[in-house]
Amino acid sequence: MTAPSPAQTPTTPPADPSPPSAWPPPAATVAPGSRPATSLVVVGAAIFLLVAGGLVSLIGAMFGVLGGLVAGVAAEAPEWVGAAAGGVVVIGLLVTVWGILQLVAGAAMLAHRPWGRRLGLGVGVAGLAFTGLSLANGLAAGVADSSLGLSLVLVAGYGLTVLALAAGGEHFRRT
């Protein structure tokens, strides 16, 4: 028996070696090698965190130095003065760490890092809570001075940060 001629052989399309998938392939939001879209609101929030973090770190460092100076001079003072100075040093250290977290979050947000978005959102929510409580306390006490104005500015800045990071997902898309 002879083999059928090529003209008589039925043609079938080549089989696809990949198994069928129930999930569609992910849509590419950013072309390989290009940067994600930059959100100006996220950039504004990052700049706010950088400025606030720098000022807070500076204030915290000054508290730490002041507490250390008082502790050094308080050798002849009552014992409670040294304990209070130690407390001021600890508060200064905590404030400095808080400022550094804001600086890191702001820099990571500008660098389009997804972890910067999460850190910035955490810092923004915590800052909004703290400054919101400060504002509410000032309003309840009937204070109408510059501290109330500073609280308003900080509430607005942290609120902008939270809203920008909640809505600015395109700024953080991975390439």
If you average pLDDT over each of 42-46, 133-137, 142-146, 166-170, which comes out highest? 42-46
Count up the domains in the chain and report the number: 1
Query: Residue 164: left if φ>0, alpha if ψ -120 to 50, beta else—which one?
Result: alpha
- Assess if residue 32 is contained within a domain: no
Task: Give the integer Cα–Cα distance in Å for 138 and 38.
Answer: 37
- Assess if residue 135 is contained within a domain: yes
**How high is the pLDDT of residue 34?**
62
Task: Give the integer Cα–Cα distance in Å for 129 and 134.
Answer: 9
With cut-offs at 50, 70 and 90, classify the pLDDT of residue 145: confident
| pLDDT tens by residue, 24-78 | 655 555 555 666 677 888 899 999 999 999 999 999 999 888 888 877 776 677 7
Report the percentage of the chain scoring pLDDT > 70: 76
When the pLDDT of each residue in the chain is averaged and rounded to a whole number, the result is 82
In order, the DSSP letters of 124-154 are HHHHHHHHHHHHHHHHHHT--SHHHHHHHHH
**How high is the pLDDT of residue 112?**
85
**How high is the pLDDT of residue 27?**
54
Distance of alpha carbon 3 from the chain centroid:
72
Least confident of 40-44, 92-96, 115-119, 143-147: 143-147
- Assess if residue 140 is contained within a domain: yes
- Assess if residue 31 is contained within a domain: no
**Whole-model pTM above 0.75?**
no
- Assess if residue 66 is contained within a domain: yes
User: Whole domain around residue 155: which residue ranges?
Assistant: 40-169
**How high is the pLDDT of residue 170?**
76
pLDDT at 130 over 80: yes
- Assess if residue 163 is contained within a domain: yes
| pLDDT tens by residue, 77-97 | 777 777 888 888 899 999 999
